[in-house]
Amino acid sequence: MELCDLTSFSTVLFPVIYSLRPQKDAPRVARLLLMQKSVRELDALIEKIEKELRQPSCEIRHTLPLACDPPEEDVREFLRLVVVHLRGSLNALETKTLSARA
């Protein structure tokens, strides 16, 4: 498998560089992304992550030098969980916005 483009997943992986189990950090990373990115940027990021999870094209764990060197499966599970948390938060935000307009 080839190495990923550094820009593809580095924003998501950077907060877990030193994590032994990145999966447990998924809610925290999703909250950070929600504060840093627009809805449009988050939608694009979610799409990119989901595409990579559906059709693996590279070893994501080598995108950044993860100090604890977690297995690829753990990194992919982390990304899946980040997407779950982002989607949940974005859906809640959309529902809240629609309710406020009604």
Question: What's the rounded mean pLDDT across residues 45-66?
Answer: 88
Distance CA 98, CA 16 (A): 34
6 pLDDT above the threshold of 70: no
Question: What's the rounded mean pLDDT across residues 48-71?
Answer: 86
- pTM, two decimal places: 0.86
> Which domain covers residue 51, as residue numbers?
2-101
Residue 61: count of CB within 10 angstroms of its CB: 22
Domain count, the chain: 1
User: Given this model, what pLDDT does residue 99 score?
Assistant: 65
Question: What's the rounded mean pLDDT across residues 27-41?
Answer: 95
> Confidence band (pLDDT; 50, 70, 90) for 31?
very high
Distance CA 27, CA 32 (A): 9
User: Given this model, what pLDDT does residue 25 score?
Assistant: 96
